[in-house]
Amino acid sequence: MTLRPSHPIHWLAVGLGSGLPTRAPGTWGTLGGLIIFLPSLWLSWQWVALWVVLGALVGPYICGRTARDLNCGDHGSIVWDEWAGIWIALALAPATWWGWALAFGLFRLFDIVKPWPVDRLEKLKPVGLGIMADDLMAGVMAGIPIASIGLWVSL
């Protein structure tokens, strides 16, 4: 089967099209995830937490189903994992331009370089869990130092 953006699960997996560019789909997907997360600025922390948790919970199904349909592993155009990972980093970051810019930059760094334990998590099975786990950890690893800086700057 080929990628069918008209299929609802595939459409979510490719980040509503943000993962379809042939060059740097992960970066474009992360940017798409950031844009989609903008309404969170007007939500309470409880709703933001629910958003992030739901994104992480449905991700293994969305990514795994699309990967199985494409008969591949982590296809470059599958960016729901980038969406869920950046949402973690953004939720932990101060809601400022510098907080979100830093979240974006650190998340992309950890997602590309894949330091330990990010590199180990992408090998998890089933495939959907492996696709998601490394990006979720990259989001946590990006978010924690940004949250710490945010606490220090606000003092």
The number of distinct structural domains making up the chain is: 1
Describe the crossing of helices 97-113 and 25-37 by its angle, rounded to 10 degrees.
150
Residue 1 lies in a domain: no
* Domain around 13: 8-154
Distance CA 144, CA 3 (A): 35
> Within 10 Å of residue 53's Cβ, how many Cβ atoms?
14
For the segment 116-127, the average pLDDT, to the nearest whole number, is 88
Q: Does 113 map to a domain?
A: yes
d(CA 141, CA 155) in angstroms, rounded, equals 23
Amino acid at the residue 143: G
In a domain, 21, yes or no: yes
Residues 37-67 have pLDDT tens digits of: 999 999 999 999 999 999 999 999 999 999 9
Contact between 153 and 89 under an 8 Å Cβ cutoff? The reply is no
**How far, in Å, CA of 104 to CA of 77, rounded?**
18
- Does residue 26 form part of some domain? yes
Asked if residue 103 has pLDDT above 90, the reply is yes
Give a yes or no: residue 2 inside a domain. no
Distance CA 63, CA 39 (A): 24
Average pLDDT over residues 55-80: 93
